[in-house]
Chain A
């Protein structure tokens, strides 16, 4: 191919030269160029290597149907893979790199694949690399695959999102789309008009068109300017509709900054638009002809050849041959000829085109070769000639008629496929239209209409009439109206009488090795499609997956219908009977950043702060994410290990006084005359008998009887309770309570309110806890008899409302003091000040865990799993005695829940003198080595600072009946010894709680 810049023409600004780089080589183009047009103008023929065979590839198309020119744009953190050169607007300093070639585009080592292509047919990877192990080959195969690389640094760009509603969303800024938007706007409807290109006009910019006696570009510019002025219209170019979802939700992505980020302007904006009606004016894609070596650089789509001339002033070759099976390629030939390009021949598979088209071609001196097609091209990186053969009555090339025609570019047109991707995503059904040899919209499922070429109408005048009619119907349904305008348009060739010609095979010409490409991006040939059929993958969906035809980012824009055509020939059926695959979003690749929006870094997920967050940092807390809360793991002391820090915190608490910000603990108020009945159904243990002012530990189960959560329930009044939950489950349990009330027990007069973050909770823990609290000015009597263990009191503390529960997870004297959240930080500070005389020590979650393991207290999620029922954790008698029904009761009465030998929670006493047992270590029978049966595992384990020895809990088969048994723990090749004991290594009688 010898592409070159024409002396004049195109919508580029020749006064503004732009420098850019391709594979490190400095090149230049003009303002208004795409990367593709600039590369062509710079005589760059080979722009990349194919996906599988690493064959040299050139530019195929001029729009987002480009399958070959996949580029890596930019460098470093701003580098973007998988961009089509036809969609990249040229900007100063742009850096583009080819992909899928190593060490260079010209000399690509993996081009050796093409030599072995006979051994690499479709699905070869399903049959090979099985011995000795796929994983041996996987790294090399994965390294060789892919089209570009994602940057491994954080994206510095900003991405925005926007939600919008409108009456009418028009997708496509071609002539029909603009006409539809104008009519809708005039009716007063709220209109959103989007166009993927930077320029308006669609195919009218490719083939010179007169609309109302002005050229298409001027008509588009004035129409867009008119729409911009209307307050009820939003007009967005550079905006792609990538997905059509339920309830007429359409995803758009708008490109805002083509250059490098300035740190303020978002690079892209994702729109989520809910439209009453969607107008699909998405146009159509030209199909390439399928013949041997049709993937060589220099073979392009006919419309692309015209587009490069008309839009960018670039001729794609000096001697161009055009091959077609329909009239539209004649229009492209006229464009090239009028621009002064030598069109050496127009090869038509049909006997003739429409008479007026033929006449015009003859008038222009074009040589038409009828009843023939291209059967091969020569020149691997620069086209030298094309082979042309006559077609017989069966559409088979006649070998003896073959002849060679010198040319440096071949433009082909195998017909047109309406861009039905969004229509298909909306759930719409397609049908195959014999007249146009294309799949067209048949039945809509959502509130949308297709107009113009997207509806399979390829003649502009007829398209506009159809569009006006359809828009009129839509406006009527919205109780709106607009007067259709008389619009005159210049006559175009249109599609004419298309001839079905799905592929020309090498076998037909005694060249069995020659491959004819159907899908350029995924390197799928017609022989691959046939192989899939021979292997009995006969459904189009199966052929797609076996061959990868039409998959991935291309979504079969140029290949799907040709693939279906090849299948229909092989299966001897109509393409409509083959059917189409389901088109999936995104319609075209888009950045992950657009989906992420502002939800990156610290904004990825909300992390809730404690009321005392500021003070925690001052105290040196090592803050970590615990169930969505930013909580201290422990308090760092310089030069001390985590274990040393935790030991210090535990010993200070056990010996004197510790402070823990327990504010994330779930708090749900339950109120009403039926509150007792309701909670008795929610908890596995009996809650009806709980007296006012008392607290009780309880287990909640799910409907399968599995332990879901635990916590303390306090009875505030006869009809008023406070449900305590674990920190991570507060919202879920609040929702669960409402679900039971609203869906199952609707007759119960109960109200609930999640007050978790209304109350800050400071846990004052240790033998000096009472002495400390008595220092506050409060309405509470903290005396042992006045305020015993597992009791609840309400009052005031330092003049603010206060709730206190005397409960303990450590086994020490302990109070959970709640004040309104805004006072939480101040309460924490005051406790620290007043606690100085007791050498108060703040402690973190790790110390809390250590103390509860020492005490043998259950931690749901650590000491339970998706199979643990109450009987497994020592609640067997409690649930057995409860006669009332409760959530999960039926399930825990099933034989499996009642069988002996279930895994039960036990304590593990380490007998080998070693350190803490490994959590997750498997319990095995003495003397057994893996592979052997696992009898359970270690669920919680620490080295106890209090007892100066390791303590652990575990789920062990039949554990409750095996107290005293010696067992072994096996973990990743190490073996430990332990004895099964009752949980609770520290203060088993609970004497320290009742002081």
Chain B
């Protein structure tokens, strides 16, 4: 038997990326558990249970983020994405499997996505320079999340904490590309 262990790395590094300017800050967030639930149609009862699991208020409006950073995002009628810090006593994946009881496809997507936090007074400008949306704070309020196009990639955007703080969720193989564009924009917006 080998005495080797498998080490977690992303883009060749086991350290999260950081970039900072007076008006904008980028931070890659790791150690987040992500679970995707897919079904022909998510039953409302399951939504309730998932919301309870995610400790999110306002069930039914599931495109939202809770106070403890847990996110329950409605990707479509058929799909939910749940994100939480990987510091739970039990894995989120196992909890969701238990709730779902075989009535939906549950996939552990923790390795599939990368989270980048974008903050600072230029954050909204940076984001609207790379997506087709303007992120008006009156429409896209704190706690909201939406899915949109970012250059040639998809991104899930969550407005968190305050107006100039966004959590961006990218498919991980495209995160390096997205990071370059964000950093580039942050340098000269």
The answer on a CB contact under 8 Å between A672 and B2 is no
The answer on a CB contact under 8 Å between B132 and A265 is no
25 example contacts (A-B, Cβ-Cβ < 8 A) are as follows A161-B129, A164-B134, A165-B139, A598-B181, A603-B180, A605-B152, A606-B153, A609-B176, A613-B11, A614-B11, A671-B105, A672-B39, A751-B38, A751-B39, A753-B105, A758-B108, A758-B111, A776-B1, A801-B108, A821-B10, A825-B9, A825-B12, A826-B7, A827-B6, A833-B4
The minimal Cβ–Cβ distance linking A604 to chain B, given in whole angstroms, is 9
The answer on a CB contact under 8 Å between A753 and B132 is no
The minimal Cβ–Cβ distance linking A889 to chain B, given in whole angstroms, is 24
In the complex the two chains form, what is the Cα distance from A945 to B112 in whole Å? 38
Let me know if A800 is at the binding interface, CB within 8 A: yes
The answer on a CB contact under 8 Å between B40 and A822 is no
Q: Which residues of A contact B153 (CB under 8 A)?
A: 606
The answer on a CB contact under 8 Å between A264 and B112 is no
Residue in A closest to B154 when the chains form the complex, CB atoms: A731
The minimal Cβ–Cβ distance linking A630 to chain B, given in whole angstroms, is 10
The answer on a CB contact under 8 Å between A775 and B2 is yes
Residues 729-760 of A, flagged 1 when their CB comes within 8 A of B and 0 if not, give: 00000000000010000001111110101110
Residues 798-837 of A, flagged 1 when their CB comes within 8 A of B and 0 if not, give: 1111000000000000000001111101110010011000
Residues 70-90 of B, flagged 1 when their CB comes within 8 A of A and 0 if not, give: 000000001100000000000
Q: Which residues of A contact B110 (CB under 8 A)?
A: 758, 820
Q: Which residues of A contact B104 (CB under 8 A)?
A: 671, 751
Let me know if A363 is at the binding interface, CB within 8 A: no
Residue in B closest to A670 when the chains form the complex, CB atoms: B105
Let me know if A599 is at the binding interface, CB within 8 A: yes
The answer on a CB contact under 8 Å between B180 and A602 is yes
Let me know if A272 is at the binding interface, CB within 8 A: yes
Q: Which residues of B contact A823 (CB under 8 A)?
A: 6-8
The minimal Cβ–Cβ distance linking B115 to chain A, given in whole angstroms, is 13
Residue in B closest to A774 when the chains form the complex, CB atoms: B1
The answer on a CB contact under 8 Å between B40 and A751 is yes
In the complex the two chains form, what is the Cα distance from A606 to B174 in whole Å? 7
Let me know if B173 is at the binding interface, CB within 8 A: yes
- Give residues 84-132 of B contacting A (CB, 8 Å): 104-105, 107-112, 125, 128-132
The answer on a CB contact under 8 Å between B11 and A160 is no
Q: Which residues of B contact A415 (CB under 8 A)?
A: none
For the A-B complex, the count of residue pairs with Cβ-Cβ distances under 8 Å equals 146
Q: Which residues of B contact A542 (CB under 8 A)?
A: none
The answer on a CB contact under 8 Å between A757 and B188 is no
Let me know if B187 is at the binding interface, CB within 8 A: yes
- Give residues 138-189 of B contacting A (CB, 8 Å): 139, 151-153, 171-174, 176-177, 180-181, 184-185, 187-189
Give the interface of A toward B (CB within 8 A): 158, 160-165, 264-266, 272, 274, 597-599, 602-603, 605-609, 611, 613-615, 669, 671-672, 720, 741, 748-753, 755, 757-759, 775-777, 797-801, 819-823, 825-827, 830, 833-834
The minimal Cβ–Cβ distance linking A735 to chain B, given in whole angstroms, is 12
Give the interface of B toward A (CB within 8 A): 1-2, 4-13, 36, 38-40, 78-79, 104-105, 107-112, 125, 128-134, 136, 139, 151-153, 171-174, 176-177, 180-181, 184-185, 187-189
Instruction: Choose among A165, A609, A614 the residue that contacts B136 (Cβ–Cβ < 8 A).
Output: A165
Q: Which residues of A contact B185 (CB under 8 A)?
A: 160, 598
In the complex the two chains form, what is the Cα distance from A799 to B5 in whole Å? 8
Instruction: Choose among A265, A605, A798 the residue that contacts B2 (Cβ–Cβ < 8 A).
Output: A798
The minimal Cβ–Cβ distance linking B141 to chain A, given in whole angstroms, is 15
The minimal Cβ–Cβ distance linking A705 to chain B, given in whole angstroms, is 28
Q: Which residues of B contact A613 (CB under 8 A)?
A: 11-12
The answer on a CB contact under 8 Å between A758 and B112 is yes
The answer on a CB contact under 8 Å between B177 and A603 is yes
Residue in B closest to A664 when the chains form the complex, CB atoms: B173
Q: Which residues of B contact A274 (CB under 8 A)?
A: 134
The minimal Cβ–Cβ distance linking A724 to chain B, given in whole angstroms, is 16
Pairs of residues from A and B, 4 with the lowest C-beta to C-beta distance, nearest first: A614-B12, A671-B105, A758-B112, A821-B111
In the complex the two chains form, what is the Cα distance from A741 to B13 in whole Å? 39
Instruction: Choose among A162, A669, A759, A830 the residue that contacts B128 (Cβ–Cβ < 8 A).
Output: A162
User: A158-B188, A609-B11, A614-B12 known; 19 other A-B pairs, CB under 8 Å?
Assistant: A161-B129, A163-B129, A163-B131, A264-B187, A598-B130, A606-B152, A608-B173, A609-B176, A671-B104, A753-B36, A757-B173, A775-B2, A798-B4, A799-B6, A800-B6, A820-B108, A821-B10, A825-B9, A834-B4
Q: Which residues of A contact B177 (CB under 8 A)?
A: 603, 606-607
Among B5, B104, B139: residue with most chain A CB under 10 A = B5
Q: Which residues of B contact A599 (CB under 8 A)?
A: 151
Among B107, B153, B184: residue with most chain A CB under 10 A = B107
The answer on a CB contact under 8 Å between B107 and A160 is no
In the complex the two chains form, what is the Cα distance from A265 to B185 in whole Å? 10
Q: Which residues of B contact A797 (CB under 8 A)?
A: 6
Q: Which residues of B contact A834 (CB under 8 A)?
A: 2, 4
Q: Which residues of B contact A608 (CB under 8 A)?
A: 173-174
The minimal Cβ–Cβ distance linking B147 to chain A, given in whole angstroms, is 15
In the complex the two chains form, what is the Cα distance from A827 to B111 in whole Å? 15
The answer on a CB contact under 8 Å between B184 and A598 is yes
The answer on a CB contact under 8 Å between B112 and A830 is no
In the complex the two chains form, what is the Cα distance from A752 to B181 in whole Å? 31
The answer on a CB contact under 8 Å between A264 and B188 is yes
In the complex the two chains form, what is the Cα distance from A752 to B75 in whole Å? 13
Q: Which residues of B contact A748 (CB under 8 A)?
A: 40
Q: Which residues of B contact A821 (CB under 8 A)?
A: 10, 111-112, 172
**Given A598-B181, A822-B8, are A272 and B132 neighbors across the interface (CB < 8 Å)?**
yes
The minimal Cβ–Cβ distance linking A939 to chain B, given in whole angstroms, is 30
Q: Which residues of A contact B108 (CB under 8 A)?
A: 758, 801, 820
**Given A264-B187, A603-B181, A826-B9, are A164 and B128 neighbors across the interface (CB < 8 Å)?**
yes
Q: Which residues of A contact B13 (CB under 8 A)?
A: 614
Q: Which residues of B contact A800 (CB under 8 A)?
A: 6
Q: Which residues of B contact A606 (CB under 8 A)?
A: 151-153, 174, 177
In the complex the two chains form, what is the Cα distance from A107 to B46 in whole Å? 82
In the complex the two chains form, what is the Cα distance from A161 to B128 in whole Å? 8
In the complex the two chains form, what is the Cα distance from A749 to B104 in whole Å? 10
Q: Which residues of B contact A825 (CB under 8 A)?
A: 7, 9, 12
The answer on a CB contact under 8 Å between A160 and B134 is no
In the complex the two chains form, what is the Cα distance from A759 to B128 in whole Å? 32
In the complex the two chains form, what is the Cα distance from A266 to B187 in whole Å? 10
Q: Which residues of A contact B7 (CB under 8 A)?
A: 823, 825-826
In the complex the two chains form, what is the Cα distance from A158 to B173 in whole Å? 26
**Given A758-B112, A775-B2, are A752 and B12 neighbors across the interface (CB < 8 Å)?**
no
Q: Which residues of A contact B173 (CB under 8 A)?
A: 608-609, 757
Q: Which residues of B contact A757 (CB under 8 A)?
A: 111-112, 171-173
Q: Which residues of B contact A609 (CB under 8 A)?
A: 11, 173, 176
In the complex the two chains form, what is the Cα distance from A669 to B108 in whole Å? 12
Q: Which residues of A contact B188 (CB under 8 A)?
A: 158, 160, 264-266
The minimal Cβ–Cβ distance linking B17 to chain A, given in whole angstroms, is 14
In the complex the two chains form, what is the Cα distance from A819 to B110 in whole Å? 12
In the complex the two chains form, what is the Cα distance from A757 to B40 in whole Å? 22
Q: Which residues of A contact B105 (CB under 8 A)?
A: 669, 671-672, 720, 751-753
The minimal Cβ–Cβ distance linking A522 to chain B, given in whole angstroms, is 35
Q: Which residues of A contact B174 (CB under 8 A)?
A: 606, 608
The minimal Cβ–Cβ distance linking A876 to chain B, given in whole angstroms, is 35
Instruction: Choose among A720, A759, A830 the residue that contacts B6 (Cβ–Cβ < 8 A).
Output: A830
In the complex the two chains form, what is the Cα distance from A160 to B131 in whole Å? 12
Q: Which residues of B contact A801 (CB under 8 A)?
A: 108
In the complex the two chains form, what is the Cα distance from A163 to B130 in whole Å? 8
The answer on a CB contact under 8 Å between B128 and A163 is yes
Q: Which residues of B contact A607 (CB under 8 A)?
A: 177
**Given A669-B105, A751-B40, are A820 and B9 neighbors across the interface (CB < 8 Å)?**
no
Among B107, B129, B136: residue with most chain A CB under 10 A = B129
Q: Which residues of A contact B5 (CB under 8 A)?
A: 798-799, 826
The minimal Cβ–Cβ distance linking B43 to chain A, given in whole angstroms, is 12
Among B38, B133, B174: residue with most chain A CB under 10 A = B38
